């Protein structure tokens, strides 16, 4: 598999965001509905990675 450009990298970033959401959900299940610091961090990281991935898609659409 060869990386072709921003869209392929964007897919990787969105996939990492999905992994972070899964880890946050696992923390939700084990902490009995209490908001932990770890869950806040996982969710923030997921939002950042998803934003970067979506941004790379938009860069490809509008500028390439």
Q: What are the tens digits of pLDDT across the range 38-54?
A: 999 999 999 999 999 99
The whole-number pLDDT of residue 4 equals 58
Q: Are 32 and 44 in contact (CB under 8 A)?
A: no
Question: What's the rounded Cα separation, in Å, for the pair 42 and 12?
Answer: 17
Question: What's the rounded Cα separation, in Å, for the pair 52 and 11?
Answer: 10
Q: How many CB atoms lie within 10 A of CB 10?
A: 20
Which tokens in the block code for residue 7? 């869209």
The whole-number pLDDT of residue 58 equals 86
Q: Using 50, 70 and 90 to split pLDDT, how confident is the model at 1?
A: very low
pTM: 0.80
pLDDT tens-place string over residues 11-38: 899 999 999 999 999 999 998 888 899 9
In degrees to the nearest 10, what's the CA dihedral of 42, 43, 48, 52? 100
């Amino acid at each position: 598999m060869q990386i072709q450009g921003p869209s392929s990298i964007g897919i990787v970033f969105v996939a990492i965001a999905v992994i972070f959401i899964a880890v946050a959900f696992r923390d939700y299940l084990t902490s009995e509905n209490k908001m932990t610091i770890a869950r806040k961090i996982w969710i923030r990281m997921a939002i950042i990675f998803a934003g970067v991935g979506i941004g790379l898609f938009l860069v490809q659409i509008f500028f390439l």
